Amino acid sequence: MKLSFRWYGTNDPVKIQYIRQIPSMYSIVTAIYDVPVGEVWPPEKIKELKATVEAADLMFDVIESVPVHEDIKLGLPSREKYIENYKQNIRNLAEAGVKVICYNFMPVFDWTRTQLDKTLKDGSTTLVYYKDQLEKMDPLKGELSLPGWDSSYTKEGLAEVFDKYKSVDEEALWKNLEHFLKEIIPVAEECKVKMAIHPDDPPYSIFGLPRIITNEGNLDRFLKIVDSEYNGLTLCTGSLGSASFNDVVRLVDKYSSMNRIHFMHIRNIKLLEDGSFEETAHYSPCGSLDIVKIVQTLHKNGFDGYVRPDHGRMIWGETGRAGYGLYDRALGAMYLTGIIETLDKLDSKK
Ligand code: DNO
């Protein structure tokens, strides 16, 4: 397992040198953030980013994300141009040595929370998703954005895109995804870049928009569309685990033994009775997921892909990008490293 850490580039309040100081850190997970969604990332920008990462003695192996233009998800005729651009991005990133590209196929919104700074009992703040808060939110009335999103919309822009989705139900979205995959996966195969779709977060429809990368049946369906190792998953424990119908350990076991997980996002969440959830520290007793069992399952199946500690709380007075501070994610990284080292040592004693 290769430990990695998300970094938002030189504008990130978290310095890359600090990430380097986390023991066992191997690769950075990053992206080009100042090119509009759907456009080709200029090769010079990719080169520059790679050089910055390598100067910090870290690998430039994982991109999160190359975002998918909304016209592709909507299946509009203009999608062909964006799909060609997407293929070019895969080629250019492969040229720079990138091994895995993470992306998602969520209509309009990426990961969604209802509050970014909920104070927990210990005084830390965290991201939460409370169903009663969500019911009161009307994305068409206000501007909604999260710190990790690749794009956010104005009120007018949102109304327009919601309107376009009126004719796209789940089956139509599957069709549009199928068209996209059948175009891009052959390029990924040729370039030896593993594509890794991120599950929908939360894994069910919100604001009346369709969501399909949500549960075991749909993950099976996704993998069969193009049955290639290059058509794989980013298995995000917190996203899939935020619905009680998903058994995360089972999903990790199934898809890692099929060699279809290329990137793991590991974090814990506490599921509440009404289906709401709070993000917690990684340590298993803090949440509803058994992180040791998840890592143990990956280890048993010989998983050698990338792992990153996902969102952290804000602790020790840190301020910055909600979910993406340094301290709690670094604690998560060391917790994961401790589990992996223990498993490795127990294994060598057999
Ligand atoms: C949230 C992230 C997601 C992820 C995208 C992948 O923190 O895991 O925003 O990057 O869904 O495209």
Distances (CA, A) of 262 to 62, 229, 326: 10, 9, 24
Residue 36 β-bridge partners: none
Cβ 80 vs Cβ 70: under 8 Å: no
Before 65, cis peptide (omega within 30)?
yes
Q: How far apart are CA 176 and CA 167, in angstroms?
A: 12
Amino acid 152: pLDDT:
67
Residue 268 β-bridge partners: 280
Residue 332 alpha carbon to ligand 1 centre in Å: 17
Nearest to 52 by CA among 88, 11, 85, 80: 11
Residue 264 β-bridge partners: 235, 307
CB-ligand 1 contact for 263 (6 Å cutoff): no
Amino acid 149: pLDDT:
66
Nearest to 264 by CA among 338, 185, 199: 199
Q: How far apart are CA 304 and CA 301, in angstroms?
A: 9
Nearest atom within ligand 1 for CA of residue 311: 7
Q: How far apart are CA 85 and CA 39, in angstroms?
A: 6
pTM of the model: 0.97
Residue 69 alpha carbon to ligand 1 centre in Å: 15
Count of C-beta atoms within a 10 Å radius of residue 71: 19
Q: How far apart are CA 118 and CA 87, in angstroms?
A: 40
Place of tokens 């080169």: 47
User: What are the structural domain ranges in the chain?
Assistant: 2-348
299 flagged as catalytic: no
- 10-residue mean pLDDT profile of the chain (350 residues): values are 97 97 97 96 98 98 97 97 98 98 95 93 96 87 66 79 95 98 98 98 95 98 98 98 98 98 98 97 98 98 98 96 97 98 90
Q: Homologous superfamily of 2-348 in CATH?
A: Divalent-metal-dependent TIM barrel enzymes (3.20.20.150)
Q: At 26, phi and psi to the nearest 5?
A: -115, -50
The residues near 29 (Cβ < 8 Å, ≥ 6 apart) are: 4, 5, 6, 7, 62, 63, 64, 102, 306, 308
311 flagged as catalytic: yes
Residue of 5, 201, 307 to test ligand 1 pocket, by largest number of atoms within 8 Å of CB:
201
Amino acid 158: pLDDT:
85
324 flagged as catalytic: yes
335 flagged as catalytic: no
Q: What is the token pair recorded at 104? A: 């998602």
